[in-house]
Amino acid sequence: MTDIKIPLLIPQLPNREALWPYLGQIDEKQHYSNFGPLVKRLESSLQQRFQLHAQIPLLVTTVSSATLGLELALSALGLPKGTRVLVPALTFVATLTAVIRAGYIPVVTDIDPDSWLLTPEIATEAAKSSDAGAVLAVATFSQPQDTLLWHEFQKKTGIRVVIDAAAAFGSQWVQAPDIPVVFSMHATKSLAAGEGGFVVSGEQKNIGLVTQMSNFGINLDPLAHLPVGYLSSVGTNAKLSEYHAAVALASLDGWDLMAATRRAVAARYRQSLIAACGSALIWQTGSEVAAPTTFSVRVGSYAVRQKLEDTCVKQGIATRRWYQPLLHQHAEKIEPLLSLPAHTAEAVADDLIGLPFFAMMSDEQMTAIVNAVHSVVSS
Ligand SMILES: *Cc1c(COP(=O)(O)O)cnc(C)c1O
């Protein structure tokens, strides 16, 4: 194997100078976790950002990862154990594990051929044949979900909706009052804190429950029917530490600039590939991603992708079949799990390839990748 010369991605986190003032505040306050001042400040900064794009009041609560945020947002719906939850076939495995760990049964569902998303339209059909009680829709590859459309779907069908927007900070906004949306702050995501996440929702009750369950399920509300300190539900420890909040705040300070750089690189990259390969490449449709973190494209067939992967290995270019195997193609012991036909997801998975992407990609690196793709798709 050739040494990797072009890595798949390079995370972008604040350096020690950017962290310094926030670390100073931790030293001063000596508050290290349990909803400390930096966590509060982060939640308030995020809330303000989301509020600019919403007509309804929103709330934000931080968690230690998007995976736990998803598990808790799903649990907070309070649906009966064993409720069936639609999930798209093409997504990260955490979408699936969160549903199972919340006590529900995932039903793997197909995606739209153009946006590669599980849409309300697909969910409407899938719900008929699966007796679904909820949907965990995903902002796949940072392409946002339409929360207002999902709000209509939820109103019409009574089926609860949660959105996994782990990688979509900056692209996914929350416009509906009753659709919780979960974001990740993992090192590889749009707003990077190393590890971490947060849930945005217009529902006070849902957000309150997520916060409570992130702190073991302990009641901290003096107005509740239960004394403070009593366990109100079986939660977990999913609190964000002050240290992670410090990184997130520093990340947020530089986010707009970082996002603009990433958008520019992605646009140039895509234009070069289109100029070289024309219509041989198939792209996910939708709006421009605010801060792209990965770069995936369909190359036309399984055989072409295989050839491209071989070429990239020889040239030291890292690639990744993101989100594969599809959710229903993992080991049999991963259960409970139901699946509906997912022919579109399978077709997309057949020729989808993740190419290297990072903000500091040089012209030489970009040219090498474009040439590799061109040499394969045009032969
Ligand atoms: C990254 C990702 C997750 C998991 O996020 P963590 O914060 O690492 O737990 C969940 N869903 C999707 C779609 C993701 O891309």
Please state the atom number of ligand 1 nearest to the C-alpha of residue 91.
Answer: 13
Rounded Cα distance, 108 and 89, in Å: 5
143 lines ligand 1 (CB under 6 A): no
292 lines ligand 1 (CB under 6 A): no
Q: What is the CA radius of gyration of the chain?
A: 21
Q: So what's the pLDDT on residue 137?
A: 98
Q: What is the pLDDT of residues 122-172, one digit of tens each?
A: 999 999 999 999 999 999 999 999 999 999 999 999 999 999 999 999 999
pLDDT at 291 over 60: yes
Torsions phi, psi for 163 (to 5 deg)? -115, 130
Q: Tell which residue, 310, 342, 349, has the closest CA to residue 106.
A: 342
Question: Is the peptide bond prior to 7 cis by the omega test (within 30 degrees of 0)?
Answer: no
Confidence label for 256 from pLDDT (cuts 50, 70 and 90): very high
Q: So what's the pLDDT on residue 212?
A: 98
pLDDT at 3 over 90: no
Rounded distance from Cα 93 to ligand 1 centre (Å): 8
Mutation probe of ligand 1 site: the residue of 99, 163, 164, 323 with most atoms within 8 A of C-beta: 164
CA 91 vs CA 35, 275, 343: distances in Å: 31, 29, 15
Rounded Cα distance, 186 and 197, in Å: 7
238 lines ligand 1 (CB under 6 A): no
183 lines ligand 1 (CB under 6 A): no
CA 303 vs CA 306, 351, 355: distances in Å: 5, 8, 17
CA 372 vs CA 10, 81, 89: distances in Å: 20, 50, 29
Give the three-state DSSP class for 182.
Answer: strand
Q: So what's the pLDDT on residue 379?
A: 75
Backbone CA torsion sign across 114, 117, 120, 121: positive
Please state the atom number of ligand 1 nearest to the C-alpha of residue 68.
Answer: 9
Q: What is the pLDDT of residues 310-369, one digit of tens each?
A: 999 999 999 999 999 999 999 889 999 999 999 999 999 999 999 999 999 999 999 999
Mutation probe of ligand 1 site: the residue of 95, 99, 141, 145 with most atoms within 8 A of C-beta: 95
Q: Tell which residue, 227, 268, 245, has the closest CA to residue 357.
A: 268
> Which residues touch 188 (CB under 8 Å, ≥6 apart)?
9, 11, 293
88 lines ligand 1 (CB under 6 A): no
Q: Are strands 84-88 and 105-109 parallel, antiparallel or unpaired?
A: parallel
Rounded Cα distance, 318 and 356, in Å: 6
67 lines ligand 1 (CB under 6 A): yes
Rounded Cα distance, 122 and 127, in Å: 9
| Beta strand spans in 113-154 (E) | 132-138
293 lines ligand 1 (CB under 6 A): no
Is 6:356 a contact under the CB 8 Å cutoff?
yes
Q: What is the pLDDT of residues 28-37, one digit of tens each?
A: 999 999 999 9
Confidence label for 2 from pLDDT (cuts 50, 70 and 90): low
Residue 167's CB is within 10 A of a number of other CB atoms, namely 27
Rounded Cα distance, 235 and 341, in Å: 34
Confidence label for 4 from pLDDT (cuts 50, 70 and 90): confident
Q: What is the pLDDT of residues 213-255, one digit of tens each?
A: 999 999 999 999 999 999 999 999 999 999 999 999 999 999 9
> Which residues touch 219 (CB under 8 Å, ≥6 apart)?
212, 226, 227, 228, 229, 230, 231, 232
355 lines ligand 1 (CB under 6 A): no
Please state the atom number of ligand 1 nearest to the C-alpha of residue 197.
Answer: 7
Mean pLDDT of 74-100: 98
DSSP per position, 5-55? SB-SB------HHHHHHHHHHHHHHT--SSS-HHHHHHHHHHHHHHHTT-S
pLDDT at 22 over 60: yes
Mean pLDDT of 181-200: 98
164 lines ligand 1 (CB under 6 A): yes
184 lines ligand 1 (CB under 6 A): yes
Question: Is the peptide bond prior to 336 cis by the omega test (within 30 degrees of 0)?
Answer: yes
Rounded distance from Cα 378 to ligand 1 centre (Å): 35
**Phi/psi zone of residue 161: left (φ > 0), alpha (ψ -120 to 50 degrees), beta?**
beta
Q: Whose CA is nearest to atom 8 of ligand 1?
A: 186
pLDDT at 1 over 70: no
pLDDT above 70: percentage of residues in the chain: 99
Structural tokens at position 248: 């997130």
Mean pLDDT of 281-295: 97
Average pLDDT, the chain: 97
Mean pLDDT of 282-294: 97
Give Dmax (Cα) for the chain.
71
Is 163:151 a contact under the CB 8 Å cutoff?
no
291 lines ligand 1 (CB under 6 A): no
Mutation probe of ligand 1 site: the residue of 184, 190, 323 with most atoms within 8 A of C-beta: 184
pLDDT at 286 over 80: yes
Rounded distance from Cα 92 to ligand 1 centre (Å): 6
